[in-house]
Structure 1
């Protein structure tokens, strides 16, 4: 049989295999021919390395066996900054040498130098997505050397060898270029660890005129001096904004968004901000917001929910996590206002679900258009409350109950009886749900395509039926 299959046909088969280590191991053990063909057609690879002198030759040799790589993810075990920086440059040089076809590179192997990025730009000309670590001082003019780049993620760390970076910046005229605006093609930008005294950001903000998505994580500023005024220039066309752990700048960013961005459709704010700043944004924003995701344990209350219900009538998705000050009154008012359009509701680790009996039943009666429901990590959610909500929400496609320890087998029976269209279910860490109920659920869910559950709760019958019905089971 092996001789009857030509190389092209085998490669086509290998490309259709699921991206699982077990499949790749099985294929590589058949024969040297299969191993060679599998590597030759592999387009995606993820590696985790430990800094060592012998690693570089081995890494280079490994990459030489994967000529078709389009996506590479590389993670380096934590090491002292000086060691990681020097090692990272050698790794990136190997990537530049052997992976010229790359479209996506996730290189979290320590801070990289400007010289190594310059080498990467000369060979990997097709890069559309890049994720890297940078040391201070931060320069971004090197982005101009990647004309195809659409997505950029930068994690800023306090690295060593700053003098070398400064010398390189002068040599290549990077500082002089700071005075001139560019027309970068970036559409998605993620920055982590930016401080208020970081220079070099002003040029980036002025040059990002096509941004659609902006993510700021653990940032204490958007750059020094005039960076905030330049920051406003990239907001006009934004559609998605994520602000994670950026307490010192959240209010300022939200105010600028409310005044300068009319195209915003999705907003995520985690762990930061003030009640007044968030309320001011909700009240002043005139964009057609469709998705709102908030994790603000002590900064979100019913006043904010009332403002959302009043100003964001077109909302399709609202996700709340660990919001301790929200009560049933606020959620019920929101449910009434959004009754005709809300498609996704998430109340993750929200104790209001446990505090107020009947809340979920009321929400279910109002939100009959729900397609996605996430009640994860509500440990004291019991069958009665959950089942009463499902009785009204019959069209749910995606249901997540991870960590709901109070649910039992009765909840599973209600799920396949009330929600005939379920396609995706997460019941990981639900202690009260047993293997018998999981088996019954698999047998009686005709549309199910994906299920997350512990391996110990999968009987042989459930496994067989899941395979027969092409259900992806994640354990």
Structure 2
């Protein structure tokens, strides 16, 4: 018997023996020790929620201007067209933009409308050049977090189409072509908005910016300043141009005011009167003043005495082109905590100093600054040095009338 026959016979015997056995319809379960462990793919496919979120975040809409629009959404994003900052909240993006340099704010505001609005929320200080921008409400909506506003230049009625820019002292405004270089500057060239219009702007500003801390305004009335005092309790610094005694009633309502500058009279442009009445109203209302500047103001002994007695925290006092009556210099001794006394552009210091025994001294005074002042009257200069005998620093800058005798009078300041 050959090898092939033996193999066939053996295969036939095995087939018969298997057919004799009963078929086993049920498979025996695997032992617990040999059970197959779950793979990572099984766990991932069972919890498909994170996968759906990832797919939803990666899907991109087809471009509208494309001629060949895909019929399905793709999972491969076009990162060049994605605004990744859209995933950030406004608070986080504001913190990032606030850390950028000041020079990059304007370019950043041109990125998109959202960045434009966020950059507006970062602006704190602003000069109003167009009054209609304030009156229409766009200023408040564009810059809701302002705390320093300068309304001075926006209050001028100027010819914006004119290329002639007229600058006089602290003011600059456009004027018409009829102005001649030989013509003297007067109120005819200097036109301001009516007080009613200025008050409306102040009312809108105060209601939209309750955290206002510094304000510069010209030509306002008592009612306009009262609205600011009521709506802006944190107002600390105020610069008021073209003010009068009646206007100062509105300032007296600013209880937290610390820095105040009053410009009553500017020669050649406008004139208003601030007398002892206004200074007394101011002193009784603004008791927390630390710094006071009086420009072109009138007054006398009584007005300065009221300021010294009521404003006990006053540390710096400035007189610019003052029009004080004789005898006012003796009232400076009531400013017990005054540390700095300044005179700027004053044609005279004192007309009638009075007896020397009535001239008291400022006990806490440390600095006396004289800039662009006429110092030709020896009696008034001597009275000034007697009032400032406690000064440790005296500065003369661009003053007229100084000679050896004048400096000899300063020997009283030991």
Which residue matches 2:371?
270
In 2, are the aligned partners of 1:137 and 1:199 still within 8 Å (CA)?
no
1:13 positional shift: 3.4
Structure 1 residue runs of 5 or longer lacking an equivalent are 163-173, 314-475
Which residue matches 1:41?
122
Structure 2 residue runs of 5 or longer lacking an equivalent are 1-83, 158-189
In 1, are the aligned partners of 2:309 and 2:334 still within 8 Å (CA)?
yes
Q: Within 1, Cα distance between the matches of 2:391 and 2:117?
A: 52
Q: 1:76 to 1:88 in 2, by over 3 A?
A: farther
Q: 1:211 to 1:252 in 2, by over 3 A?
A: farther
Q: Within 2, Cα distance between the matches of 1:287 and 1:232?
A: 13
Q: Within 2, Cα distance between the matches of 1:283 and 1:135?
A: 32
Which residue matches 1:69?
146
Q: Within 1, Cα distance between the matches of 2:306 and 2:90?
A: 50
Q: Within 2, Cα distance between the matches of 1:294 and 1:55?
A: 44
TM-score calculated relative to the size of structure 1: 0.51
1:189 positional shift: 0.6
Q: Within 2, Cα distance between the matches of 1:253 and 1:138?
A: 30
Q: 1:181 to 1:230 in 2, by over 3 A?
A: farther
2:113 pairs with 1:32: yes
Deviates more, 1:259-268 or 1:10-19: 10-19
Residues matched between the structures, number: 288
Q: Within 2, Cα distance between the matches of 1:217 and 1:105?
A: 20
Which residue matches 1:130?
238
Q: 1:120 to 1:182 in 2, by over 3 A?
A: closer
Which residue matches 2:179?
none
Which residue matches 1:218?
321
Which residue matches 1:448?
none
Which residue matches 2:38?
none
1:101 positional shift: 0.7
Tell me which of 147, 151, 154 is aligned to 2:262.
154
In 2, are the aligned partners of 1:215 and 1:243 still within 8 Å (CA)?
yes
Q: Within 1, Cα distance between the matches of 2:350 and 2:358?
A: 10
In 2, are the aligned partners of 1:102 and 1:124 still within 8 Å (CA)?
yes
2:206 pairs with 1:96: yes
Which residue matches 1:15?
98
In 1, are the aligned partners of 2:251 and 2:282 still within 8 Å (CA)?
no
Which residue matches 1:111?
219
Tell me which of 232, 239, 242 is aligned to 2:339.
239
In 2, are the aligned partners of 1:190 and 1:214 still within 8 Å (CA)?
yes
Q: RMSD of the TM alignment (CA)?
A: 4.1
CA radius of gyration, larger in: 2
1:43 positional shift: 2.0
Where 1:62 maps in the other structure, the secondary structure is helix
1:205 positional shift: 5.2
1:70 positional shift: 1.9
Tell me which of 85, 92, 99 is aligned to 2:195.
85
In 2, are the aligned partners of 1:272 and 1:296 still within 8 Å (CA)?
yes
1:132 positional shift: 1.4
Q: 1:149 to 1:237 in 2, by over 3 A?
A: same
Q: 1:137 to 1:312 in 2, by over 3 A?
A: closer
Q: 1:17 to 1:45 in 2, by over 3 A?
A: farther
1:120 positional shift: 0.9
1:117 positional shift: 0.9
Higher relative contact order (CA 8 A, sep 6+): 2
Q: Within 2, Cα distance between the matches of 1:9 and 1:203?
A: 51
In 2, are the aligned partners of 1:206 and 1:230 still within 8 Å (CA)?
no
Counterpart mapping for 1:345-424 below 5 A: none
1:197 positional shift: 8.4
Where 2:234 maps in the other structure, the secondary structure is coil
2:273 pairs with 1:195: no
